[in-house]
Structure 1
């Protein structure tokens, strides 16, 4: 029965036995435990600051908190697994202890980091590489039986923006996701969210072509996550900076919601929640 239902429309996630409804879009707040994330204001330097930001995100209406210990901006410095875990584990444990209602997503492409953070109290794995940068990721997620966000990326964070090329960006991304979903299906991973990977191994033109046709991802009948927040595809077009890209982010979030996005991954939770509420009024 599970095999038959894998491609049925997913309107919920099972997180440690509790069902989270996705029939209405949700917001995921970004918590970067890194010194080099592309948006300076998102960098979090202490456990106390992480707790304050988490409280603020939840009060502003976030459903998920996405914690990253490895910067994935173009050209980011590579760090060891131990360093990534050293950044993440104390924060996950502190949030789990002090704010137990928080639903924690871990932004990592490493299976060991995924496993140890889930054991420390996290709930979801958000993998920018869809298993391509760690062959053990899929089997780890299958064993842990946690929701898995899989993103399309061409290349790695270190080289992804060095002349990305596609025959047809939409069809190439869909073909990639079809193969990955089939692998996860065989491993009986039941809660999968797909992310087209805006800004990851794509030119500005590729990003807008994907957004313009984003409704096509409905063929998967899986929740779609959209992450545009303050990215270069906004501020390079507007000729401003990441710090000035909130308005542009809200515009793209609105378009994504109208094209079927179920999760918005953002730095600015309050504004994204307002965006969801207003788009929902359209019915």
Structure 2
């Protein structure tokens, strides 16, 4: 029998990654209610918003208001693409910041018009400054397995990029299967490599469910020693710069699976389903993830 952790941490990305590609404008009040409901379910780490240009991601135009008005609970992370975004986030009171770079040059150029190396060169002094100020820094590693433009990514290239971030003193690596093409063997192999290389660093797995293998990939990551997972309530999500990428793996499905495996998350499943109900009327995507559908059908029948 393979070894499993007793506890796992869920990093909820629904309010940011889940909504960033939503075609309908979600009111700020609805986002805040969603965040509060997720917190009430027991989620202690969450991506609230991103400080990006509203021109490119209109859904995130209220990031300052979200950060100012969201109930203060646990680690509240905001995504920032560059120096301007970091300055805006800090001015708004952010205490945990995520930066992102794609392993793939092609993806990175489509996303922020820079190669991977150019992105890192620009980020290095910014990360050092953030750490000097005591800010928690999360490094999001995009296209860690596959790129929509370049195909399969060499694991050594992902490892090399992670090493550059570790040298800068980041607190956490969030390693993403951005377009949902990884399989469990690849998940185990890469996360075992990273876990062995960085035993003292927080490492989170971030899976999209394009080919319905996200849950299997999470089990493989668990076997590799990973106990932190990015998930999105309702399976919401997608990336405007990653053609074909579907939503993130659903928080409620992952939490249910972990609990059935005897792994504690500290999250109340029924309250989590209620949080999905809060956001469902405001999104265009049909929220039909397994555990949420079962809960909703049960609630409507009573």
TM-score, length-scaled by structure 1: 0.63
Residue 195 (1) aligns with residue 159 (2): no
> What is the deviation of 1:111?
2.9
Aligned 8 A contact 2:6 2:262 in 1: no
> What is the deviation of 1:53?
0.8
SS at match of 1:257: helix
Matches within 5 A, 1:243-258: 248-258=213-223
Aligned 8 A contact 1:106 1:125 in 2: yes
Question: Please, which of 41, 55, 62 is the counterpart of residue 87 of structure 1?
Answer: 62
Deviations along 1:48-99, one digit per CA (max 9) or x if unpaired, are: 112211122112231112023378xxxxxx755997984311110011xxx1
Tell me the equivalent position of 1:204.
Answer: 181
SS at match of 2:202: coil
> What is the deviation of 1:211?
0.6
| Superposed structure 1 runs of 4+ greater than 4 Å apart | 33-36, 78-86
Q: What do you get for the CA RMSD once the two structures are aligned?
A: 3.7
**Residues 26, 34 of structure 1: CA spacing in aligned structure 2 closer, same or farther, 3 A cutoff?**
closer
Residue 266 (1) aligns with residue 231 (2): yes
Q: Which runs of 5+ in 1 are unaligned?
A: 1-21, 72-77, 239-247
Aligned 8 A contact 2:44 2:73 in 1: no
Whole-Å separation in 1 of the counterparts to 2:51 and 2:159: 26
Aligned 8 A contact 2:54 2:60 in 1: no
> What is the deviation of 1:209?
5.4
Whole-Å separation in 2 of the counterparts to 1:70 and 1:45: 16
**Residues 181, 281 of structure 1: CA spacing in aligned structure 2 closer, same or farther, 3 A cutoff?**
closer
> What is the deviation of 1:36?
7.2
Aligned length: 221
SS at match of 2:32: helix
Tell me the equivalent position of 2:139.
Answer: 150
